[in-house]
Amino acid sequence: MLIGGPSSTGGVNRGPFLPDVAVVGAGPVGLAIAWRCAQRGLRVVVHDPTPGSGASHVAAGMLSPVAEAYFGEHELTGLLAESAARWPAFAAELAEAAGTDVGYRTDGTLVVGLTADDLAEARRLWAYQQGLGLPITPLRPSALRDREPALAPRVRGGAVAPGDHQVDPRRLVAALRVAAERAGVALRPAPVARLSDVDARVTVVAAGCGAAALTGLPVRPVKGQVLRLRAPGRGAPGFRHVIRGYADGESIYLVPRYSGEVVVGATVEERADTEVTAGAVLRLLRAAVDLVPELAEYDLVEASAGLRPGTPDNAPIIGPLPGRPGVLAATGHHRHGIVLTPVTADLVTELIVTGEPDPLLAPFTPARFVPEEERKWN
Amino acid sequence: MLIGGPSSTGGVNRGPFLPDVAVVGAGPVGLAIAWRCAQRGLRVVVHDPTPGSGASHVAAGMLSPVAEAYFGEHELTGLLAESAARWPAFAAELAEAAGTDVGYRTDGTLVVGLTADDLAEARRLWAYQQGLGLPITPLRPSALRDREPALAPRVRGGAVAPGDHQVDPRRLVAALRVAAERAGVALRPAPVARLSDVDARVTVVAAGCGAAALTGLPVRPVKGQVLRLRAPGRGAPGFRHVIRGYADGESIYLVPRYSGEVVVGATVEERADTEVTAGAVLRLLRAAVDLVPELAEYDLVEASAGLRPGTPDNAPIIGPLPGRPGVLAATGHHRHGIVLTPVTADLVTELIVTGEPDPLLAPFTPARFVPEEERKWN
């Protein structure tokens, strides 16, 4: 057990009330780790002045191990698939624990191309994904339209990834807060400026972009701008699949919720501000309306921007921090924080409880970004 | 004097504290009337639960007697010109009285066409406006670009209306509130459901779209959607003229403020809701960026919708209400409420003080919408 004996036998200087685990950051990853640790009988504190205000607040909540399987990211693809496989049970257990629905929805994802060029671009990726044995199936145009009549007649073609699902990230955070608190987790609203200010046997840095300042890890903000539309009359949207599309070279997604909300995203910008720009809104709306014309009649209810925690290899950073005994990282989830929440929480909790990292974590160790000479304490 | 003697000699049933004038509606028109009346020594009360929350909150504030001179609206064009001519002195007096600037700006207006078709459409209107002797002058493309280098190279041509100015409607309302209150006007935040609830010698209905329910006049809501952008770094926008443009058949305007704000408007929709729709935002942004490409880099800080008080002939309704002694209307200003504020306030105040309508008001009398048989009390 990484943290030693039960906390009630803690060191003389720290007294019996030292938490077993302090989590810095109350996004989905941090809250899920806290919840899982509390389920294992650990005493857990979560530090965050504004829970759920990071990347998850803007995220669409696509659970897309297939459509997000990109060239050269083989190990990440494996982790996405592993976590997506855990989502049904995770969603059910969380809904039960929190007494609230998290919007988990299994209608599947369509990947479509507007023009011939867009379709060619999409096909290159399907071929790669099919080569990995992932479940994605090209559809004839008539079959595509049978599935989603709301697609524009111009849309040239597409494929279906039936296992790529969705969840509502804002509901997810709300449910995780309830579940964690019911399991005994304490939420502390003060910001954490330095890890030395945190008093616990194990500290988990799940602070998204904030992890860089706390740990020195190479986590950088990657700005994303996102719109939220609402179907007129507060009915459900006129389509049920998540639609990922290429439209005149623009890559966008449309995520329909039962509530009538449609999330349209997202830009990927190497910037650290959170301003919403006219050009980004124009590009997102143009592509959205080109793919699904009825969206022009929808209300535009929110335009927002968030910062994803990006890493040099686009993969998350999960595991012990070299040279910092008792400190774990669970950050750098970039565009995959929602889908990776269950597996991250499970593996970090196991690591804390057993002291042994799961082999699944090996490619994602913080050590890959720490020079040898700085690892002496590890 | 329409209202009889000084209020201190008021009727026995009403007591000495009966106001001389009650204005229903604290938009620019209502507040300016109240201010002008108070300057003439009248006791004035303005009723509005949410001052400045109507059409003016969304309005761009163009003072465009020339660019807004449309076919078949000859009498309205005359009133626009008369009011625009009063604006410089009105703005100066108001700024002095309120101790605050109203954003009155005299850089002039460019009217431009993006494509050859757009330019042909614009030229038809210039020819009409020039035929009326109004100051609008076509520019060679090089002269257009010398004036506004920010215009897209694609813009085919344009004209300048140097006398078409602008003001900031939100600053205008704020200044009018201060000036009116300093002049002794009382603001009452309760809504007015019926005119019989209003106790005053003269009641002025300046309630915008709300005038229909209060008076039966044919004032209908005409929805307009508007965006507010902000230049990056909070500098001034990269252009100084008001730009009115036709872009692929879309008619839009861009109003730059010293603060960095650019107002982009506006849709004209026969609807009574105030939802912001994806399609409208897309059309406005596309036309704006087509005309002035740098706007793509601006922040989108607000998207909003308001309801203009439209009338069957697009002209305002100003004057005594037939069959309703002591009730005046000052409504139906449609897209022209800001430019018409000074002349409306001056003429309504004169009418109240002298009992004689100015001949300028004749075309705008409420009587034009009231059948003969209902005018018996007039």
Q: Which residues of B touch A276 (CB under 8 A)?
A: 299-301
What does the alpha-carbon distance between residue A74 and residue A222 come to, in Å, rounded to a whole number? 21
Q: Which of B278, B288, B298 sits opposite A277 (nearest CB)?
A: B298
Global confidence as pTM: 0.91
- In chain A, the residue whose alpha carbon lies closest to the alpha carbon of B299 is A277
Please answer whether residues A125 and A70 qualify as being in contact, where contact means their C-beta atoms are separated by less than 8 angstroms.
yes
Residue in A closest to B293 by C-alpha: A279
Which residues from A are below 8 Å from B299, CB to CB? 275-278
User: Nearest Cα to A76, choosing from A318, A242, A250?
Assistant: A318
Question: CB–CB of A285 and B285 under 8 A?
Answer: yes
Q: At B298, is the pLDDT very low, low, confident or very high (cuts 50, 70, 90)?
A: very high
Residue B198: the pLDDT is: 95
Question: Nearest Cα to A257, choosing from A234, A290, A226?
Answer: A234
Q: Which helix (H) or strand (E) holds A285?
A: helix A278-291
**Inter-chain touch A286–B288, beta carbons under 8 Å:** no
Q: What's the pLDDT tens digit per position in B307-338?
A: 999 999 999 999 999 999 999 999 999 999 99
SS3 readout for B212-258? HHHHCCCCEEEEEEEEEEECHHHCCCCCCCEEEEEECCEEEEEEECC
Q: Which of A252, A284, A285 is the best substitution to test chain B (most B C-beta atoms within 10 A)? A: A285
Between the ranges A11-25, B204-218, B361-375, where is the mean pLDDT highest? B204-218
Q: Which residues of B touch A288 (CB under 8 A)?
A: 278
Q: Name every chain B residue with its beta carbon within 8 A of the beta carbon of A282.
A: 282, 285-286, 289, 296
Worst-scoring range by mean pLDDT, A282-286, B8-12, B155-159?
Answer: B8-12
Q: Which residues contact B252 (CB under 8 A, 6 or more apart)?
A: B244, B245, B264, B265, B266, B284, B287, B288, B291
pLDDT one-digit tens code per residue, B37-82: 999 999 999 999 999 999 999 999 999 999 999 998 999 999 999 9
* ipTM reported for the complex, 2 dp: 0.89
Residues of A in contact with B288 (CB under 8 A): 278
pLDDT in tens, chain A (378 residues): 455 444 443 333 344 589 999 999 999 999 999 999 999 999 999 999 999 999 999 999 999 999 999 998 999 999 999 999 999 999 999 999 999 999 999 999 999 999 999 999 999 999 999 999 999 999 999 999 999 999 999 999 999 999 999 999 999 999 999 999 999 999 999 999 999 999 999 999 999 999 999 999 999 999 999 999 999 987 999 999 999 999 999 999 999 999 999 999 999 999 999 999 999 999 999 999 999 999 999 999 999 999 999 999 999 999 999 999 999 999 999 999 999 999 999 999 999 999 999 999 999 999 999 887 776 544
Instruction: Name, in order, each residue with C-beta under 8 angstroms of A368's C-beta and a sequence gap of 6 or more.
Output: A313
- CA atoms within a 13 Å half-sphere pointing along the CA-CB vector of A250: 22
* Percentage of the residues of chain B whose pLDDT score is greater than 70: 94
Closest approach of B304 to chain A, Cα-based (Å): 10
Q: How far apart are CA B46 and CA B30, in angstroms?
A: 8
Q: A227 contacts in B (CB within 8 Å)?
A: 278
Structure tokens at B115: 């494509």
Contacts of A291 (CB under 8 A, 6+ apart): A112, A114, A151, A152, A155, A243, A245, A247, A252, A254
Q: How far is CA A230 from the centre of its chain?
A: 23
User: Cα separation of B337 and B349, whole Å?
Assistant: 17
Which pLDDT belongs to residue A234? 75
Which of the pair, B2 or A155, is modelled with greater confidence? A155
Across the interface, of B229, B276, B297, the residue whose CB is closest to A300 is B276
Q: What is the mean pLDDT of residues B269-275?
A: 96
Long-range contacts of range A14-18, CB-CB < 8 Å, 24 or more positions apart? A14/A199, A18/A199, A18/A200, A18/A201
Among the partner residues A276, A277, A285, nearest to B278 by beta-carbon distance: A285
Dihedral angle, C-alpha A367, A368, A372, A373, nearest 10 °: -60
